[in-house]
Amino acid sequence: MPPSPRNRTRWSALAAALGTLGLLGAFTVASSEAAEGGPERSRAVAGAAALPSYDKVVVVVYENKQYGEIIGSSNAPYINGLANAGASLTGMKALTHPSQPNYFNLFSGSTQGITGDGCYTPQSMTAANLGQELIAAGKTFATYNEDLPAEGSTACTNGQYAQKHNPWFAFRNVPLNTGKTWAQFPQGNFAALPHLSFIVPNQCNDMHSCPVATGDTWTRNNIDAYAQWAKANNSLLVLTWDEDNYLGSNQIATVFYGAHVKTGRYSTPVNHHHLLRTFEDLFGTTHAGNAANVQPISEVFSTGTEPTPTPTPSPTAGDLKVVNPGPQTCKFNQSCTIQITATGGRPPLRHTATGLPWGLTTDATTGRISGKPWGSGTLQITTTVTDSTGATATTTFPLTLTWF
C-alpha cells in the first residue's frame, strides 16, 4: 500500500535532513526495499536463493555435551569423521538452559514461554513452527522418536523416551501422526522420507544419560547408511545438540554432511534460530519467531555465499590472528555490538576498523565495535589488529544494516 500524503511529507522532510549527512542514498535504497516488503524480506529472498534445493533433509538432535566433548574427542570417532568430511560449525551456541526451551527455539524460533523440562500440555499452542510451515508450503514433515510408544503418542515419558525432547506435540497446527516411532524410520528406503525430518534418539543414545561413545556408536549403526545415501542423492544430514553440560559457554557441536556441503570449519557465531532459518530457507517457507530476524547458515553450502571457512592472518602477521566474526546484522539507530577477537602476537594489541557506518566506533584496546548505526544495506568492514612489534592481521566481514 503506498504511503499517505501526510507520511510522504514526513518522509521527504526526513530525507532532506539526512541528505545533509550524506545518508540520502542509503535511505533511498531502504525505501525501495520497503516497497518490496522491507529489508528483512529482501535479505530473506537473497538467503533462500543462495541455498541448495535438497530432496531430503534429516536432523538428529543430541543432548547436553560441550563442543569439546564431541569435536576432537576420541570418544566420538564416527561423528568426527562426518565433521572432518563435512562442515563443522565452531561458532554454534545453544540459547539457554535447560534442554526443553532449546528444542522449542529450534522448532519455533521461541521458547513459547517454556522455562523448564516439565511436561507441556499436548496440542496447546498455535504459534508458527517448522512443521506447520513445511506443510503449508506443500512439503512433508515427520519426526522419528526412539522409544515413543506409538505414532502420535503424547505420553510424557516411556522408558528412555522423554516428551521434553519432542516439541512438535505441543502444537495443534502440526498433525499428531507426523510424530512417528523409531521403528517407522525407513531404513534402506530413504527416498520414502519426508522432505524434512527430525530424529530424536532416546535418552541413552542421545548422550543425555549414557557416554558420548554410546551415542557415537548408535549414530554409526543407525545413521551412516542415510549419510552416505544423502551425499549421493542430493540430500543433507545435520547433527546438532540442545545445550552443553552447564560447565562451558554453551558452545555445542553442529555438523552438516551430504550433497553440496563444503568441507571446512566455520566460526561464524550462530545459534538455534539461525539453524531454524536455514531449514526454512532450504524449503522456501515463512519464518517462525526469531528466525525472521537472523540470516540462514549459507556459508557451508557450495552454492551459497563463500566467506573463508577458517580465518587466516595477513602474510606479515606471524602468529597473530584475528578471528572473523562472520556476517553481522544491526538495526538502524539501535544499539549494536560486534566483538572482534585476536589471538597470538605480542601484547599490547591495537584494533582498528574501516568501512564502519556513521554511529559505530571501535575500541582500540578491546576490539569491540559498538554504537547506533545510521544507514542501510550491506557494508564490508575490515578490521586490523597490530601487536607491539608492528605485526598485523586483517579480516573482512559483511555488516548488514536493516530498518526493523
Assess whether pLDDT exceeds 80 at residue 21: no
Determine the pLDDT at residue 222: 97
CB-side neighbour CA atoms (13 Å) of 384: 12
Report domain extents, the chain: 56-293, 321-402
What backbone phi and psi angles, to 5 degrees, belong to 135?
Answer: -65, -45
Distance, in Å, from the CA atom of 372 to the CA atom of 374, rounded to the nearest integer, reads 7
Q: What sign does the dihedral 233-266-303-377 (CA atoms) show?
A: positive
The domain made up of 321-402 has a fold known as: Immunoglobulin-like (2.60.40)
Assess whether pLDDT exceeds 90 at residue 348: no
- Residue whose entry in the numeric block shows the C-alpha cell 541448495: 52
Give the mean pLDDT of 211-230: 97
Task: Read off the pLDDT of residues 41-67 as tens digits, 9 standing for 90 and up.
Answer: 333 333 344 799 999 999 999 999 999
Which superfamily, per CATH, for 56-293? Alkaline Phosphatase, subunit A (3.40.720.10)
pTM for the model stands at 0.66
Q: Mean pLDDT over all residues of the chain?
A: 86
Give the mean pLDDT of 367-394: 88
Determine the pLDDT at residue 162: 96
- Decide if 299 contacts 307 (C-beta within 8 A): yes
Least trusted range by pLDDT, from 15-29, 77-91, 162-176: 15-29
Assess whether pLDDT exceeds 50 at residue 5: no
Distance, in Å, from the CA atom of 326 to the CA atom of 307, rounded to the nearest integer, reads 8
Assess whether pLDDT exceeds 70 at residue 237: yes
Is residue 142 classed as helix, strand or coil in its secondary structure? strand
